[in-house]
């Protein structure tokens, strides 16, 4: 990693990223940090704090515009899908969240550690309302940041949704 034009030792990455987050470098400056709300959560040594600027969109419950997270480890969960591709969409979404939950538990975390969820949908407009309802049964405040993307197809034939996550543990 290069910091101030010099190669930084590997162990300094965490300090660099933590310092950049604390200074607002990664969040767009001090205004973003000043807008941090009081909703905070901690689990297993990791903390998450909601960032909600006054002009941030709030299309629905179950997500935050941004999260400030501190912890010892980052867990990147690859896109997961349901076990039963023929089940109704609510069941498929629950099966997918259940798979993510197993991975989180195996890594020593829970949904309280998730800082961002990305979901990919073959039928975004049809299925988004169901996703928004179901995610409230799994995610906890402060809710993770979230992005939903519509796509014409996913990597596995017949797969209509895929959810990936990042957690700080």
Q: Write the DSSP string, 5-66.
A: TEEPPGGGHHHHHHHHHHHTGGGTSHHHHHTEEEEEEEETTEEEEEE--TT----SSS--SE
Give the tens place of pLDDT for each residue, 124-160: 999 999 999 999 999 999 999 999 999 999 999 999 9
Mean pLDDT, to the nearest integer, of 69-95? 94
pLDDT-derived band at 41 (thresholds 50, 70, 90) equals low
Residue whose C-alpha is closest to residue 21's, from 52, 1, 49: 49
How much is the pLDDT for 107?
94
Residue whose C-alpha is closest to residue 56's, from 44, 67, 65: 65
Q: What percent of the chain has pLDDT over 70?
A: 66
How much is the pLDDT for 53?
67
Residue span(s) of the chain under CATH 3.30.1330.40 come to 74-168
**What fold does the segment set 74-168 form as a domain?**
60s Ribosomal Protein L30; Chain: A; (3.30.1330)
Give the tens place of pLDDT for each residue, 6-23: 444 444 444 444 444 443
Mean pLDDT score of the chain, rounded to an integer?
A: 79
How much is the pLDDT for 60?
62
- pLDDT of residue 114 exceeding 70: yes
- pLDDT of residue 46 exceeding 90: no
Residue whose C-alpha is closest to residue 163's, from 47, 89, 77, 46: 77
Pick the range with the lowest mean pLDDT from 25-29, 36-40, 45-49, 108-112: 25-29
């Amino acid at each position: 990693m290069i910091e101030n034009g010099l190669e930084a030792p590997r162990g300094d990455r965490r300090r660099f990223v933590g310092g950049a987050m604390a200074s607002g470098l990664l969040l767009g400056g001090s205004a973003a940090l000043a807008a941090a709300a009081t909703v905070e959560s901690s689990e297993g040594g990791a903390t998450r704090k909601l960032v909600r600027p006054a002009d941030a969109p709030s299309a629905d419950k179950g997500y935050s515009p941004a999260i400030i997270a501190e912890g010892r480890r980052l867990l990147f969960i690859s896109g997961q899908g349901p076990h039963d591709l023929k089940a109704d969409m609510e069941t498929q979404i629950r099966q997918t969240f259940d798979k993510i939950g197993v991975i989180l538990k195996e890594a020593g975390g829970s949904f309280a550690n998730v800082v961002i969820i990305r979901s990919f949908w073959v039928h975004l407009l049809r299925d988004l309302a169901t996703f928004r309802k179901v995610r409230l049964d799994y995610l906890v405040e402060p809710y993770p940041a979230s992005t939903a993307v519509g796509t014409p197809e996913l990597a596995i034939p017949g797969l209509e949704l895929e959810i990936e996550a990042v957690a700080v543990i």
